[in-house]
Structures are given as structure tokens and as C-alpha cells.
């Protein structure tokens, strides 16, 4: 795995465009999803990462768009702790009617965001299972019955082979209603770095949610 991430780091270092930091030393604002305190040695910068698994599909942003998602914000994650170093990525995007229509769920076009969210969660769980991901429990995403912030959350690991290299990636994922829209948040990291993955999971679980006024301004101004 070290060889994998050294190669990935080299590729990203060459191809990644300049990006401005989007967090203070102790906070990261993930668009539409919430404010979080990153684990030690982790930083996030706004900008689409040139992630190797998405090179064949036109990049992360285009993959999201083709999947029926819109208004995406994309980030590069860097983990640097002494000699340990790796990249990851994160994204937040609106997932609504286009995604439902793409998957043939036209009956839910006029339903409430919470009802749409539950259908979308079922579709995502099916896609994750079909990709052979590993996860705890019966489903990768579980519904949290929080009346103030209805949402689905979970994590899973994907494994694939490419050019004789094993790629294991851990995904933290959340689907929630924010500002009367359904939004998807994703954080991807090296699955072999267990402490990092656990830290990112705790970060997501402990996030503070945006107020409705903040969400409205963000959606109106594309922040």
C-alpha cells in the first residue's frame, strides 16, 4: 500500500492545480454538510483532486455530474504525519430530482426532501453493495432518526486491482436534508491507515450543522 500511495502522491503533485486553503487550523467548512474539526495532521483544500480511480471517467466532478448530481464542491485531503503521507478527497453535492429520474424513480419528483432522501439512500446502498464494498451491519448507510437533521450515515471499504497494485479506499458518506435540498457528502482516504479513517469518521459524526440562513446564502451564492 505504501507503494500505491507514493505513486498516487507523485501523480497528484504533478497534476493537481493550485488550490486555496478552506479551513482554519482547527476547522473545515464542508459545503452544505457542516463544520468539522479535522484530525491531527489532516488538511483540506478546495479544488478537485486528480484522483487515480477517476481518470478513466473524466475526473471526480464529471463522474458526479453524469451520476445525476449537481452544485458540487470538491476538496483535496492531505495527511502528513512525519514519514507517513497520503492523499484523499472529499465532495459535497446536491442530489435530487435529476438523480431520481436517472434511476427511474419519477414517482418521487414531487415528494418532500426527506422522502426523496430515503429513496436516494436505498439507491446508494444498492450501488455500494453491487460494487462489492465491505461494511459493518446490514447496509453501508444507516438512517439516523434525528428530527432536526434527518440523515443517513455510514462507511465502507472498496478494493480493486490495477496494474498489479491493490487499491483499498475507505469512504465516509452522509446523505442529509440541508436547506430543503438533499445533499451528499463523501470523504475518501487510504483504507490501510486505520487511525486516519477512524479520525475522519469521528470528525464527520461530531460535525456542527449549518443554520438555515447559512444554507440559504450558500445555495444562493454558490458557496
- Domain CATH for 159: 3.40.1000.10
Percent of the chain with pLDDT over 70: 80
Strands ordered across the beta sheet of 23-24: 23-24, 27-30, 34-36
Neighbouring CB atoms inside 10 A of 192's CB total 17
pLDDT score recorded for residue 108? 79
Of the listed ranges 17-21, 119-123, 162-166, 214-218, the least confidently predicted one is 17-21
pLDDT of residue 133: 95
Which of these, 46, 60, 50, 64, lies nearest to 8 by C-alpha position? 50
In tens, the pLDDT along 116-159 reads 999 999 999 999 999 999 999 999 999 998 888 989 999 999 99
Nearest by Cα to 197 from 156, 141, 163, 162: 156
DSSP 21: B
The pLDDT score that the predictor gives to residue 17 is 33
How far is the C-alpha of 138 from the C-alpha of 54, rounded, in Å?
28
Q: Measure CA 164 to chain center.
A: 27
The boundaries of the domain holding residue 44 are 2-221
Domain count, the chain: 1
d(CA 3, CA 166): 10
Give the tens place of pLDDT for each residue, 50-96: 666 666 666 677 677 777 788 788 899 999 988 888 889 999 999 98
Amino acid at each position: 500500500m505504501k507503494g500505491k500511495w507514493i505513486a498516487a502522491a507523485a501523480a497528484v503533485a504533478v497534476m493537481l492545480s493550485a488550490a486555496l486553503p478552506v479551513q482554519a487550523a482547527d476547522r473545515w467548512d464542508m459545503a452544505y454538510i457542516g463544520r468539522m474539526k479535522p484530525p491531527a495532521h489532516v488538511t483540506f483544500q478546495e479544488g478537485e483532486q486528480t484522483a487515480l480511480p477517476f481518470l478513466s471517467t473524466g475526473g471526480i466532478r464529471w463522474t458526479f455530474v453524469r451520476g445525476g448530481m449537481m452544485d458540487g464542491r470538491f476538496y483535496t485531503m492531505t495527511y502528513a504525519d512525519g514519514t507517513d503521507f497520503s492523499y484523499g478527497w472529499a465532495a459535497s453535492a446536491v442530489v435530487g430530482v435529476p438523480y431520481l429520474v436517472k434511476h427511474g424513480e419519477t414517482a418521487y419528483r414531487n415528494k418532500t426532501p426527506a422522502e426523496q432522501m430515503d429513496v436516494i439512500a436505498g439507491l446508494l446502498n444498492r450501488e455500494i453493495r453491487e460494487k462489492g464494498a465491505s461494511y459493518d451491519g446490514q447496509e453501508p448507510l444507516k438512517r439516523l432518526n434525528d428530527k432536526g437533521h434527518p440523515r443517513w450515515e455510514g462507511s465502507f471499504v472498496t478494493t480493486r486491482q490495477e496494474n498489479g497494485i491493490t487499491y483499498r479506499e475507505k469512504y465516509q458518506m452522509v446523505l442529509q436534508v440541508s436547506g430543503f435540498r438533499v445533499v451528499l457528502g463523501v470523504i475518501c482516504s487510504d483504507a490501510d491507515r486505520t487511525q486516519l479513517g477512524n479520525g475522519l469518521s469521528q470528525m464527520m459524526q461530531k460535525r456542527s450543522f449549518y443554520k438555515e440562513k447559512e444554507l440559504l446564502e450558500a445555495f444562493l451564492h454558490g458557496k
